């Protein structure tokens, strides 16, 4: 099975999990690059506002065509909703995913973003996973990743 792990990561948490998943599954990776500057505290505030508003953004051209993969795993931080960069990616390739799985990293929000990700991608996720930022800091997320990848 040809697998692609795609993620957007502002702080590195979602990237760390994506790379861990890719290593276990021997998958290709692609980072979604948001062209909007979201650095610093002002970037954080704008990011939350854009996430809450379910906004789209401009992203750099992707190098890997998700339609050429049997499974595409998409990761996003939670900014009330999924990030604008991931929303833009999913909408751009809607209907072109053969099979998807989704994961998110979050501080503690109770938001369930996966139905929105399924809607934007046009694909029902085979499985999903949420990882809290504190689990990443404490290095206690690995069992969740192992369970997630075993379902794929």
Strands 100-106 and 125-132: parallel
Does 43 have pLDDT greater than 90? no
Q: What is the CATH number of the domain that holds 104?
A: 3.40.50.360
CB atoms within 10 A of CB 92: 14
Query: Per the structure, how many domains does the chain have?
Result: 1
pLDDT tens-place string over residues 135-152: 999 999 999 999 999 999
Does 133 have pLDDT greater than 90? yes
Does 17 have pLDDT greater than 80? yes
Concatenating the DSSP letter of every residue in 59-100 gives: BPPPSS-GGG-SEEEEEEEEESEE-HHHHHHHHHTTT--SSE
- Give the pLDDT of residue 87: 97
- Give the pLDDT of residue 80: 86
Q: Round to whole Å and give the CA distance between 40 and 61.
A: 24
Identify the CA nearest to 73 among candidates 132, 32, 133, 12: 32
Q: 106 is in which domain, residue-wise?
A: 3-150
Reported pTM: 0.95
How large is the angle between the packed helices 114-121 and 84-92, nearest 10 degrees?
30
């Amino acid at each position: 099975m040809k697998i692609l792990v795609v993620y957007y990561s502002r702080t590195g948490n979602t990237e760390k999990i994506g790379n861990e998943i890719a290593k276990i599954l021997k998958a290709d990776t692609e980072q979604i690059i948001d062209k909007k500057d979201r650095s610093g505290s002002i970037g954080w505030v704008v990011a939350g506002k854009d996430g809450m508003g379910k906004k789209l953004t401009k992203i750099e051209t992707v190098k890997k065509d998700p339609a050429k993969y049997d499974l595409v795993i998409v990761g996003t931080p939670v900014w009330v909703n999924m990030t604008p960069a991931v929303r833009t990616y999913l909408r751009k390739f809607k209907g072109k995913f053969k099979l998807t799985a989704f994961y998110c990293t979050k501080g503690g929000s109770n938001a369930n973003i996966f139905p929105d990700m399924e809607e934007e991608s046009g694909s029902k996720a085979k499985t999903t996973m949420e990882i809290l930022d504190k689990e990443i800091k404490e290095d206690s997320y690995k069992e969740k990743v192992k369970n997630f990848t075993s379902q794929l």
